[in-house]
Structure 1
C-alpha cells in the first residue's frame, strides 16, 4: 500500500518533466517568419542549412530557435544633410528591406536581431549625405529629386549586399529647404516661367506675321500671273459672253453687236 503513493508521485514527476521537455522542444514559426537554430552543444548558430520555415517544429530542448520576420519591412528616416554649397537640407525618406532568407543564419551570427540599427539605418544615412552633397538646393527642390532617390538607393544597396540584407526600394518623400532659400527658388522659377511664356508669345506672333506675308505674296503672285495671261482679244470675248447672258434676261430687249467701245455689244432695255 505504501508503494502506490510513491509510484504515483514518481509518475507525476515524470509527466511534469515530459511536459517541460516537450514545451522546450516545440517551436511554432508564424506566418512571414523564419527561425534560426542555435545548437548549444553542436557548434552554435546553424549557417549551412536553411532556416526553419513556417509551422510546427520539434528541436532538442537544450537548443534555441531565434525567430526573424522575413517579410518586406519599412524603415522611415528623417535626415539633416548638407547640400553642395553647405546649406542644411532635411530629407524625409523610407526604405523597404528584408533579410535574405537563406542567409538568415549568417545574418544572426554577424549582426544579430537588431541588424536594422546596426547596418541598415547607418547605410541609408551615409548614402544620403554622400548623394545630397553633390547637388545645390535648387536642384534638390526641383528637377533632381528622382535622381537623388535612385542614387541613394544604389549607394545603400552596395553596402547592404554584403550584409545579408536585401534592399528593395528607397523613397524620398519630402525635401525641406530653409524658408529663405525656398522663397528665392520659387521666385526664380516664377520669373523663368514668365520669361518662357513671353518668348512663346513672340514666337507665335512671328509665325502669324509670316503666315500673313506668305498669303499676301501668294495672292499677289496669282494676280500677276492672271494679268500677264489676259489679252485684249480674251477680254473682248469675255465681254461678249457676259453681254449675251444679260440679253437673255426678261428686262433686256435689243442687243446691238459691235456698237460699244472695243466692239463690245450694246444692250437697249425697255426704257
Structure 2
C-alpha cells in the first residue's frame, strides 16, 4: 500500500512536470526528468501489485479500509494483488514455543521464547520445567485468526504462549512427585494431549511436546535419592533371600535323592543276595581254605 501511494504521487508529479515542460517548451533535462518520474511512478505501482510467498507461509490480503479477502493465498511463488491491498504473513509450519531456563521473552511470528515454567504436582511440591512445543497451523484458519487477533504474533502472545504455560501446570496436578521424576515421557504425552484438544478450534496441530528437564529443590531430590538407595538395598536383600531359599531347596532335593537311593540299595541287599556275592567272591580267589564255623585256624607264613 505504501509503495502504491508513493508510486501514485511520483506518477502525478511526473504528469505535472510533463505539462509544465510542454507548456513552457522545457529543456531536454526537464523532459528527461519527467520521463524518469513517470517510469519510476509506474514501476512502484507495478511492484505494489505483486508479492512473493515462501513455502510454509500463508498470506492474508487486507483491503484499504480494513476488509479482508476471505480466501488466503496458500501456494508458494509470485502472486498478483490489487495495489491497495496489504499482505499479512502467517507461518504455517516449524513454529516453536520454547520456555527454557532463565531465557528472556521474545516473539517472532509463530515462534515464542521465554523462561522456565513453574508447576505444582499432586503432592503440592513445586518444580521448574524446560518445555518446548512444536506446532503447525492449518492455512484455512489464517483468515479467522487475523480477523480475531490481527498479526500472528498477537495471536501467539494472547493464546498459544499462554497455553504452553497454563496447560503443563494443570496437567502436573495429576502426577505426584515420584511420577514426575520417573515418568517424564508420560507427563509430556499428557501435556500434548491436552494442548491438542485446546488448540483444535484454532487450527493448530501439535507435532511434538518435549519436556527436557524437571527441576525440584535439592531437598526433594536428596530424599528421592535416599529412597532409591533404600529400595536398591531392599531389592538386594530380597534377592539374597531368594538365592538362599533356592540353595536350601536344592540341598534338600539332593539329600532326598541320596536317601531314596540308599533306601533302594538297602532293600535290594537281602541275605540271599549277600550270600551269593560272598560265594562269587570266593569262587574268584586263587586258593581256597575252608574253615569250619567256630574254629580258630593257625596260619603259618614264611
Coarse TM-score class (shorter-chain normalised):
0.7 to 0.9
TM-superposed CA distance for 1:62, in Å, is 0.9
1:66 and 2:104 correspond: no
- The residue number in structure 1 matching 2:130 is 92
Matched residue of 2:201: which SS?
A: coil
RMSD: 2.9
Q: How far apart, in 2, do the equivalents of 1:90 and 1:261 lie?
A: 104
TM-superposed CA distance for 1:133, in Å, is 2.1
Q: How far apart, in 2, do the equivalents of 1:21 and 1:203 lie?
A: 88
- The residue number in structure 1 matching 2:175 is 135
- The residue number in structure 1 matching 2:142 is 104
Give the TM-score normalised by structure 2: 0.73
Alignment of 1:1-271 (within 5 A): 2=25, 11-40=35-64, 44-47=67-70, 49-77=71-99, 78-111=116-149, 112-114=151-153, 115-142=155-182, 144-238=183-277, 254-256=286-288, 259=290
Extract unaligned runs of 5+ from structure 2. 1-21, 100-115, 294-301
Q: How far apart, in 2, do the equivalents of 1:40 and 1:234 lie?
A: 124
Give the TM-score normalised by structure 1: 0.81
Q: How far apart, in 1, do the equivalents of 2:219 and 2:245 lie?
A: 39
TM-superposed CA distance for 1:172, in Å, is 1.0
Q: Quick check: 1:89–1:176 contact (8 Å CA) kept in 2?
A: yes
Q: How far apart, in 2, do the equivalents of 1:172 and 1:261 lie?
A: 101
Matched residue of 1:71: which SS?
A: coil
| Offset from partner CA, 1:35-75 (integer Å, 9 cap, x none) | 2222337x82233x353321111111111222222222221
| Offset from partner CA, 1:77-122 (integer Å, 9 cap, x none) | 2111222333321111110111112322222222331122221121
Q: How far apart, in 1, do the equivalents of 2:213 and 2:278 lie?
A: 83
Q: How far apart, in 2, do the equivalents of 1:205 and 1:94 lie?
A: 50
Q: How far apart, in 1, do the equivalents of 2:263 and 2:157 lie?
A: 87
Matched residue of 2:202: which SS?
A: coil
Shift in CA distance, 229/53, structure 1 to aligned 2, threshold 3 Å: same
Q: Quick check: 1:37–1:52 contact (8 Å CA) kept in 2?
A: no
